[in-house]
Every structure is written in structure tokens, then in C-alpha cells.
């Protein structure tokens, strides 16, 4: 099995466990150095973690409570200027937190499609939609770096929260996002994710730390270049928040640090 598929299997395993634990596990739990859990060292409740990264209480109260798992590193919808009727895709939708917030805004004449690779997350999200009678939300299975299961040129806004760092082919992920967005400056991405001051060397990647949103992180420069190289324009950082400092050792057993930062980025398809 290649390193790539091994990481993907680990991602499905870990996020499957998180889905089944119903808010009692976070992506910080398996690694002391996770980046998707804000700046606090203590284990917070999902609502507390979400509040720290920028969700407001009214939004959190307005959605199914079991969709809140505290796995995000920002609040992309708050920057997305969504409106009634918009078609929105949420990549790596987890239990549905951002998909449901978006669904409340785009209303019945809009549509939200959540995409995730982990079966237990999809099951949880679909159950949340069914129990709470959301008619305008659908959750589809897909690997966003291979193919997003959505038609070309059909989406107003792509949102995503702390997910693209988990993919190995970031450029292809952004090309896929570009493919599904509407052209002519309508389609846009608003993505919260983590970046790092120094990328980990390939040989030193730790699977648990990749799954914990640390070892897959690109530098800000490489992250923005991936967006640009996929074809996007008017790229803008809307928010930047310092996160954890990660300590690790190189081949010479020298201690090195990496600063993890959460960013929210906006970019357009022309
Ligand atoms: C850190 S969690 C964030 C979940 C959600 N966005 C939130 O804020 O609660 C990452 C999610 O991305 C999903 N994921 C990871 N890699 C993926 C891929 N290649 N394609 C689709 N989903 C993926 C995981 O299954 C997991 O649900």
C-alpha cells in the first residue's frame, strides 16, 4: 500500500471514530500537536471550540446540535455573503455544521451539497438533515482531490473548513473546485484552512499528525500558489489567526518548530 492510500485510510478511520464518538473526540485527541483545534491546549467542548474559531451563538443554536463536532479552524460562511437561492458546496462537510448554516441562508430555493470521504460522517450528516427536515441539503460521498461529485460550472460558492490540508494533491483539489464553480466572476471559494511556517519533510510525515491537520499543511505561499495555479484570481486572505506551535525532530535529531496558522481565503473564477 502506498503512503498516499495509507494516509487516506487513516483519515477515514480517524474521522469515522470522531463521527461515532458524538462530540467526545476531536482531531486534537489523537495528537498533542493538532492544528485544527485553535490555540488552546485543553480539550474543549465542540461548541466552545467552534466559538473560539469564529462561530456565533445564534448560528450554532440554529443548526442540528450533533452537526457541531468542533473540527473547524474558521467560519467560512460568515465571509461568504451567501444569499437566498445560491448553490453552495461544502467540501469535507463532516457532520454538516457549515452545510446547515449555509442551508439556513440559501433557503428552499437554494441548495447545499456537502461532500465527504468518511462513511460515518456522511451517515451522521444525512441523519441530521432527515431528523431536522432540511429539504435543501444533500450529502454526497467523494474524494475531493480525485473528483468532486458535482457538475461543471454549476456552483455559486464553495466553502470548506479545515479539510484541504488533509489532501495530498492540493493543486488538483483546487482545480476540481475551479471546475464546478460558475464562470464569469460569479463562482467563488471561501475556505478556512491551516498553513504552516515550515512544511514537514516527506520522510518525516507522521500519519496521526497528518490526520490532525498538521503534517499536510503547506506554507501560506505554497497554499496561495496552488489556488492561483488552479486558475483562480482576486485571491484575498480574509482572516488569519495564529494556532499551535508544533515541535518535531529532523533526521539529525535536532528539535525544530513549526507555527500553525488558520487562514480564511477568498478567490474567484473568471
Ligand atoms: C477536520 S474535519 C472538518 C469537518 C467539517 N468541515 C467541520 O468543520 O466540522 C475534516 C473532514 O474532511 C473529510 N475529508 C478528509 N479528506 C477528504 C477528502 N480527500 N475528500 C473528502 N473529504 C475528506 C474528513 O472525513 C472529515 O470529515
Contacts of 15 by beta carbon, 8 Å cutoff, 6+ apart: 27, 94, 118, 120, 121, 211
- pTM of the model as a whole: 0.94
Query: Number of structural domains, the chain?
Result: 1
Task: Give 56-95 pLDDT, tens digit per residue.
Answer: 999 999 999 999 999 999 999 999 999 999 999 999 999 9
By residue range, what is the domain housing residue 34? 3-268
* Residue 249 banded pLDDT, cuts 50, 70, 90: confident
Closest alpha carbon to 138 in 149, 147, 154, 146: 149
Going by the DSSP 8-state scheme, the letter that residue 98 receives in this structure is H
Task: State the distance from the centre of ligand 1 to the C-alpha of 114, rounded, in angstroms.
Answer: 10
Task: State the distance from the centre of ligand 1 to the C-alpha of 239, rounded, in angstroms.
Answer: 21
In this prediction, residues 150-162 reach a mean pLDDT of 98
Task: State the distance from the centre of ligand 1 to the C-alpha of 234, rounded, in angstroms.
Answer: 26
Helix axes 97-106, 119-131, angle to 10 degrees: 40
Q: What are the E-state strand segments in the chain?
A: 87-91, 111-116, 137-141, 157-161, 188-196, 233-249, 255-268
More confident residue, 181 or 1: 181
pLDDT exceeds cutoff 80 at 27: no
Phi, psi of 264 (to 5 degrees): -120, 125
* Residue 26 banded pLDDT, cuts 50, 70, 90: low
Task: State the distance from the centre of ligand 1 to the C-alpha of 251, rounded, in angstroms.
Answer: 31
Whichever domain contains 139, its CATH number is: 3.40.50.150
Closest alpha carbon to 89 in 34, 159, 19: 159
Report the distance separating Cα 102 and Cα 84, nearest Å: 10
Lining ligand 1 with CB less than 6 A are: 11, 15, 27, 36, 69, 71-72, 92-94, 97-98, 115-118, 121, 142-145, 161-163, 166-167, 213
Looking at residue 257, its pLDDT comes to: 92
Report the distance separating Cα 119 and Cα 106, nearest Å: 26
Looking at residue 24, its pLDDT comes to: 66
Please report the DSSP string for 102-145 in residue order: HHHHH-TTSEEEEEES-HHHHHHHHHHHHHTT-SSEEEEE--TT
Nearest CA to ligand 1 atom 17: 117
Position in ligand 1 atom list of the atom nearest CA 67:
9
Q: For residue 68, give the 3-state DSSP assignment.
A: coil
Q: Which three cell numbers stand for residue 39?
A: 490555540
Task: State the distance from the centre of ligand 1 to the C-alpha of 58, rounded, in angstroms.
Answer: 24
* Residue 23 banded pLDDT, cuts 50, 70, 90: low
Looking at residue 22, its pLDDT comes to: 74
* Residue 207 banded pLDDT, cuts 50, 70, 90: very high
The count of other CB atoms within 10 Å of the CB of residue 256 is 13
Report the distance separating Cα 235 and Cα 1, nearest Å: 37
Amino acid at each position: 500500500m502506498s503512503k498516499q492510500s495509507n494516509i487516506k485510510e487513516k483519515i477515514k478511520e480517524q474521522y469515522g471514530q470522531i463521527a461515532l464518538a458524538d462530540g467526545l473526540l476531536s482531531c486534537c485527541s489523537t495528537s498533542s500537536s493538532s492544528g485544527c483545534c485553535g490555540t488552546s491546549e485543553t480539550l474543549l467542548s465542540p461548541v466552545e471550540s467552534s466559538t473560539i474559531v469564529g462561530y456565533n451563538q445564534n448560528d450554532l443554536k440554529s443548526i442540528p446540535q450533533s452537526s457541531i463536532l468542533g473540527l473547524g479552524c474558521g467560519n467560512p460562511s460568515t465571509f461568504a455573503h451567501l444569499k437566498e437561492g445560491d448553490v453552495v458546496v461544502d467540501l469535507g462537510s463532516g457532520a454538516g455544521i457549515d452545510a446547515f448554516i449555509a442551508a439556513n441562508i440559501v433557503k428552499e430555493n437554494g441548495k447545499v451539497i456537502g461532500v465527504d470521504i468518511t462513511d460515518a460522517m456522511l451517515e451522521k450528516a444525512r441523519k441530521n438533515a432527515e431528523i431536522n427536515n432540511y429539504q435543501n441539503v444533500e450529502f454526497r460521498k467523494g474524494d475531493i482531490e480525485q473528483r468532486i461529485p458535482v457538475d461543471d460550472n454549476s456552483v455559486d460558492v464553495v466553502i470548506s473548513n479545515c479539510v484541504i490540508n488533509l489532501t495530498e494533491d492540493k493543486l488538483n483539489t483546487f482545480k476540481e473546485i475551479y471546475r464546478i464553480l460558475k464562470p464569469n466572476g460569479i463562482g467563488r471559494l471561501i475556505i478556512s484552512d491551516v498553513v504552516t511556517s515550515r512544511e514537514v519533510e516527506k520522510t518525516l510525515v507522521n500519519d496521526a499528525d497528518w490526520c490532525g491537520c498538521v503534517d499536510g499543511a503547506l506554507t501560506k505561499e505554497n497554499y496561495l500558489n496552488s489556488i492561483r495555479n488552479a486558475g483562480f484570481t482576486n485571491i484575498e486572505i480574509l482572516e488569519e489567526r495564529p494556532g499551535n506551535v508544533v515541535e518535531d525532530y529532523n533526521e539529525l535529531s535536532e528539535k525544530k518548530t513549526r507555527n500553525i496558522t488558520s487562514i480564511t481565503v477568498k478567490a474567484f473564477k473568471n
